[in-house]
Amino acid sequence: MQRDRDSHKGENGKVAVIGGSATIHGAPLLSALAAQSSGVDLVFVCLPNIHQHVARCASLNFQVHPFADDDFAPRDIEPCLELLATMDSAVIGPGLARTPESLSALHKLIASAPCGLVLDASALQPWTLDAAKGKTAVCTPHLGELERMNIATDDIGNAAKQSGIVIHLKGSTDRIADAHGVMEEIEGGNAGLTVGGTGDALAGLIAGLLAQKIPPAKACRLASTVIKRAGDALFEEKGYAYTAQDVIRHIPALLRSID
């Protein structure tokens, strides 16, 4: 990816990740690490107060904004929106609690978010497409989350076209519907990519590419290709015994080779 040699800190992408719950700290951090590996300048992590110390240790470059408590709640909406107003893109949803209070606050956050969005995991609800309609947004469901969104597998293109939102259905073959309903399939990878956290990494990588001004559908295609190629490379080295962190470590070189 090209950039101006005279650019300054922050001009090559700022990404926020909002996620985590009392029992889940890894999901938002994997998204943040993948965004960082995409080459963005700055990464901000919003997660439960109980996990702020591990977030600070995950990367010296992360700027950590803890929730008021251990789950996302209405009082977290305003400070998160203030942060998002300065971002190029954000991942929302990895590991967030799905209590009625958290989901209600999440709905309001998505509806008011001013930056590009990658919506994953807990952010994928029956109301998600309506809340994000008109925004630059990508939804990254697996089959179970697609069902929770009340979208049939063969209706992805229509749902994307009606909402103007890219839908990236994860699977052994990824299916991507752009905002006009045009479908594309990305093959590759292997069953090792079923390990926990690879979907979080995909979401973070897409957000990082969005922040670097790559259009949403193209960002999905590129991120899917990189994650699947990383899985293929790791299988040659480790068989199926690799982790999402191993996948993330392959991102910079793969992005450069594809670029």
What are the extents of the domains in the chain?
Answer: 14-258
Q: What is the pLDDT along the chain (259 residues), one digit of tens a residue?
A: 777 787 777 779 999 999 999 999 999 999 999 999 999 999 999 999 999 999 999 999 999 999 999 999 999 999 999 999 999 999 999 999 999 999 999 999 999 999 999 999 999 999 999 999 999 999 999 999 999 999 999 999 999 999 999 999 999 999 999 999 999 999 999 999 999 999 999 999 999 999 999 999 999 999 999 999 999 999 999 999 999 999 999 999 999 998 6
Report the alpha-carbon distance of residue 124 to residue 107 in Å, rounded: 10
Rama region for 4: left / alpha / beta (φ>0; ψ in -120 to 50; rest): beta
Name the residue type at position 204.
G
pLDDT value for 2: 74
Give the architecture (CATH level 2) of 14-258: 3-Layer(aba) Sandwich (3.40)
Report the alpha-carbon distance of residue 201 to residue 184 in Å, rounded: 21
Q: How far is CA 20 from CA 32, 91, 229, in A?
A: 12, 12, 27
Q: Any residues with CB less than 8 A from the CB of 159 and at least 6 apart, and which?
A: 129, 151, 167, 177
